[in-house]
Structure 1
Amino acid sequence: MYVSFETIPTFVWVFIVTYAIYLIKKPRLSKNEPPLIPYKYPIIGHTIDFLFNPENFLAECRQKYGDPFNIYVFGQVNTIVGNEIAHEVYQSDTFSLSVATRDSFPLYRVLRSLDNPETMESLIKAIREGITAKLPLYTGRMQKQLMGYINKEIGDCPKPKLIDTAADNFASMIARPVADVLVGQEISKNEDVIKAFADFTKDFASILAIPPILSFIHPKVHTQVITLPLRFGFNPILKHMITLKKHLKPVLEKRLKEKKILGDKYEPPLDIIEYFVNDLENETKVITEGYMNKICDFIFITVVASIHTTSRQLSSALYDFAGRPELWDDLYEEQVRIDKESDGELTSQHVNKMVKLDSFVRESLRTFDAVAAIPQKCMDSYTFKNGMTIPKGRTVLTYLSDIHYNTTAYGPNPRSFLPHHGMENNIPASKTDKNYFIFGSGKHACPGRFFAVNEIKIGMHKLILKYHIKTPSGKVEKKVFHGPLAEPPITGLIFENR
């Protein structure tokens, strides 16, 4: 190969720049940190193994170096915490999920209320007081909304019908009861609002499609680049905001008017927007544009935290059911018995009696989720009980496979599907513990998990009663992995009338 004299300086500069980046980005650990796993490639570190072989890579690291350990991915050191250490992270106020996700999922660029640190506190309070505490009151409405979707989107299946699940993983199904609870029964009948709720997270995620290559320089560089479209006017989710405002504003104005006229005789509707407007911090006499922005931000933050994850979990549970014919009769018999007891109208007591289905859902959740996920940002230097210390600013990832597949809790074959484990051990699907982190744990546990589990159970109850459900292969379909993150299978499901 001929190399001209003029090309030599180019090679020299490339070498100098590459070496400078290597020196700048070379990880420097402080004293008493968890061990940094050795890597072959400067700058790249463990990125390739973490993206393309996360299960085997992290298992080998865990076996050789214990819990916790450090890996070097996309130019940043991340601490991986597993079965022995993770519970410490979730019991401490030193770690923040919201801060950790700002760079990788910069929703605050669109929902400005997220810039206020009190927003998440208000959201958690609203979910606990406005939804979880009143869950029995929502049960009837929930099943009505779910049946509306089932009858419309799946419908009558006298012959086997293949339903595509890849498009939204039943997001439209989950969006209906969520809309009912958030914005009320009147607005939740509007198909445009349902579509806005179902598509919001998916459309925002389209902005994040660029791989975080620029994070090798710095995470903020990547964030600045992926959010450029927003700053230049391309906002694929603005239409959803406009849709919600259009239908929500007249309802809010009507309620304020009725409240003023009726006074103490006013009967407040049961939904989160009523909870929001009755909260002293959010009281208003006039529905201004600023007030609409605030309440719509509040609603869509809840949508992001609920619909996408719950619909994925429902979809995965249906695949687990469809691919395991040995479980069909047992689960069907329980649903038939409860349907007869309830005369087709479920109450919270009937949902609580679905112990076999609850145990099945718990096991589906345990075996579904990512290899490693749930980033937490260390807000101050923190020392684990084993004496290891991590610095302020460090991102901590939960090694979910190490937690959900540990032999102490789940026996000698923890990767096998154990449909009766929750029932035999009296552990409901919504209960978090040190061996089950699907909803987080401790102070960082998801406040909406009770509602989410009820949605999944009621949805599966109605579907199992109405249809035979199978996979195209007749077997358990493989999940789709994007790096260490899991998605439900994309093969579709076959429905046939019982």
Structure 2
Amino acid sequence: MYFSFETIPAFVWVFVATFIFYWIKKPRISKNEPPMVPYKIPIIGHTLDYIFNTENFLAGCRKQVNTIVGNETAHEVYSTDVFSQADELRNGVYPETLEQVVKTVREGIAAKLPLYTGRMQKQLMISINKEIGDCSKPKLVKNDFLSMIARPVADVLVGQEISKNDDVVKAFADFTKDFSSILAIPPILSFIHPKVHTQVITLPFRFGWNPTLKHMITLKKYLKPVLEKRLKDKETLGDKYEPPLDIIEYLLNDPEYETKVISDDYLNKICEFLFILVVVSIHGTARHMSFALYDFAGRPELWDDIYEEQIRIDKECNGELSPQHINKMVKLDSFVRESLRTYDAVLTIIPHRCLESYTFKNGMTIPKGRTVRIYLMDIHYDSTAYGPEPRSFFPYRGLENNFPASKTDKNYFVFGSGKRACPGRFFAVNEIKIGMHKLILNYHIKTPIGKIEKKIRSGPFSLPPANGLIFENRINCKNF
């Protein structure tokens, strides 16, 4: 057969086109891995569907998941050391201190939770008075509840003296907002490689632009004299020194943060750690507090029943809640659990990285280095666990099953699962319940449209509605 010189480029282009087509279609998986979902668009794959239509996209991939694990295998990710949250976080904007964070929350907060109860409700009432105040006439309040949650968190982290300062409370709330806005950037460059997205969103930091730096300066300003005074008191009082109950005192006694001089380097180190605690303790709690209030405000049929429980408990404790009284809020607790279950996130926020090749019990294998995300909606809307209408909001589902809001199980992954369950979940749930208890006692709360407000979707994540809530004083409200 004769080929002219002019036909060679045509064959080259056919070969290149064939190779590219084969490369796009070729499965990028090893033996026994879950099958790849065929690309919808060459090169960028499913990026657009993942960002703008996550729920339907993952629902369509239900039987062909790759790095998204659903109801059948999610518990294995949390129960084995093969999957690491810390390793994935180190590739982002968190320092390598996750284990220290977990230890501090578990020992310094969760283990001493009853001792914080009185201080928590006092700080929440200060926030309620400041941010909502007198509503003798119906008042539309657009509040993300960051500052309201930040005040009791500040009390626990940096102590009662510093938390009285509104600048510190504002710094905690604003830091959470600024940091969260960076994390909320859609991963539009992840189709090239996940690390590309991480490198791009952290690029401003490497060139000196840091919107969180001003909050660090504020905290250092108020923290330094308090730390110096504590070190001096320890030295002069010896055994007579009475240690305050807060996290900065816990850290001063921790070998990792023990010091004799409060230098600038030490201040930077301890403030960086404190702000990690700020993000993990304020962001999620404030968001779920908002979800719960919108869920309550949009369901008039529940108002009287839940209000009556709060009135009864308020009379029993004479306005001063104890841990025992908080435990008696069984209807409110069940309501909060259902709000947490149905907040409509498609995936969990924190991914996991597979540290070595792992084979699930169903025979599927995940290779070393693979990032795994939990398909949260598949777990929380499982009809086997939650009946034929798993998406329906049944406020007393937890009450009927004797499952409190802070209890994790294989069908409830808001706080993770197993040994990796969030150690701060007890504090967070108590904070939400105390806040709602006080708000329901003091106000009639409703949505502007008089029914359930639609949540805001941001890729695979869900945000509370932005239309605000209407607050109106209850008659003979004793707190105002």
TM superposition score normalised by structure 1: 0.89
d(CA) in 2 for partners of 1:348 and 1:299?
26
Post-superposition Cα deviations, 1:396-424, rounded to whole Å, max 9, x if no partner, equal 11111110011121111111001111111
Structure 1 equivalent of residue 38 of structure 2: 38
Q: How far is the alpha carbon of 1:49 from its aligned partner?
A: 2.1
Q: How far is the alpha carbon of 1:17 from its aligned partner?
A: 11
Post-superposition Cα deviations, 1:304-346, rounded to whole Å, max 9, x if no partner, equal 1110110000000000000000100010000000000010011
With over 3 angstroms needed to count, the CA separation of the structure-2 counterparts of 1:25 and 1:60, relative to structure 1, is closer
Query: Does the Cα contact within 8 Å between 2:186 and 2:459 map onto a contact in 1?
Result: no
Match of 1:98 among 86, 104, 107: 86
Query: Does the Cα contact within 8 Å between 1:175 and 1:194 map onto a contact in 2?
Result: yes
Question: What is the identity, as a one-letter code, of the residue corresponding to 1:497?
Answer: N
Structure 1 equivalent of residue 424 of structure 2: 448
Query: Does the Cα contact within 8 Å between 2:408 and 2:421 map onto a contact in 1?
Result: yes
d(CA) in 1 for partners of 2:16 and 2:174?
46
Task: Tell which deviates more after alignment, 284-293 or 314-323.
Answer: 284-293
- SS of the aligned residue for 1:396 comes to strand
Structure 2 equivalent of residue 76 of structure 1: none
d(CA) in 1 for partners of 2:224 and 2:393?
48
Q: Does 1:399 align with 2:399?
A: no
Structure 1 equivalent of residue 93 of structure 2: 107
Q: CA RMSD in A?
A: 2.2
Post-superposition Cα deviations, 1:105-161, rounded to whole Å, max 9, x if no partner, equal x323xxxxx23xxx2222211111111111111000000100001111101111110
d(CA) in 2 for partners of 1:478 and 1:458?
25
Structure 2 equivalent of residue 125 of structure 1: 103
Structure 2 equivalent of residue 312 of structure 1: 287
Q: How far is the alpha carbon of 1:26 from its aligned partner?
A: 6.2
Q: How far is the alpha carbon of 1:285 from its aligned partner?
A: 1.1
Question: What is the identity, as a one-letter code, of the residue corresponding to 1:287?
Answer: I
- The gaps in structure 1 that reach 5 residues or longer are 1-8, 71-78, 109-113
With over 3 angstroms needed to count, the CA separation of the structure-2 counterparts of 1:489 and 1:395, relative to structure 1, is same
d(CA) in 2 for partners of 1:221 and 1:473?
42
d(CA) in 1 for partners of 2:439 and 2:181?
31
Match of 2:385 among 392, 409, 424: 409
Structure 2 equivalent of residue 202 of structure 1: 177
Residues 335-414 of structure 1: pairs in structure 2 closer than 5 A: 335-373=310-348, 374-414=350-390
d(CA) in 2 for partners of 1:304 and 1:21?
45
Matched residues, percent identical? 76
Query: Does the Cα contact within 8 Å between 2:93 and 2:202 map onto a contact in 1?
Result: no
TM superposition score normalised by structure 2: 0.92
Q: How far is the alpha carbon of 1:54 from its aligned partner?
A: 1.9
Q: How far is the alpha carbon of 1:391 from its aligned partner?
A: 0.4
Match of 2:306 among 320, 327, 331: 331
Q: How far is the alpha carbon of 1:292 from its aligned partner?
A: 1.1
- The gaps in structure 2 that reach 5 residues or longer are 1-8, 475-480
Q: Does 1:433 align with 2:409?
A: yes
d(CA) in 2 for partners of 1:343 and 1:152?
23
d(CA) in 1 for partners of 2:157 and 2:90?
25
Q: Give the total of aligned pairs.
A: 462
Structure 1 equivalent of residue 6 of structure 2: none
Q: Does 1:494 align with 2:470?
A: yes
d(CA) in 1 for partners of 2:21 and 2:189?
12
Structure 2 equivalent of residue 3 of structure 1: none
Question: What is the identity, as a one-letter code, of the residue corresponding to 1:337?
Answer: R
Task: Tell which deviates more after alignment, 307-316 or 221-230.
Answer: 221-230
Residues 18-417 of structure 1: pairs in structure 2 closer than 5 A: 23=23, 28-62=28-62, 65=63, 69-70=65-66, 79-103=67-91, 106-108=92-94, 114-115=95-96, 119-165=97-143, 169-208=144-183, 211-373=186-348, 374-417=350-393
Q: How far is the alpha carbon of 1:255 from its aligned partner?
A: 0.4
Q: How far is the alpha carbon of 1:480 from its aligned partner?
A: 0.2
d(CA) in 2 for partners of 1:32 and 1:178?
46
d(CA) in 1 for partners of 2:359 and 2:178?
40
d(CA) in 2 for partners of 1:306 and 1:476?
27
Q: How far is the alpha carbon of 1:199 from its aligned partner?
A: 1.1
Q: How far is the alpha carbon of 1:27 from its aligned partner?
A: 5.1
Match of 1:457 among 419, 424, 433: 433
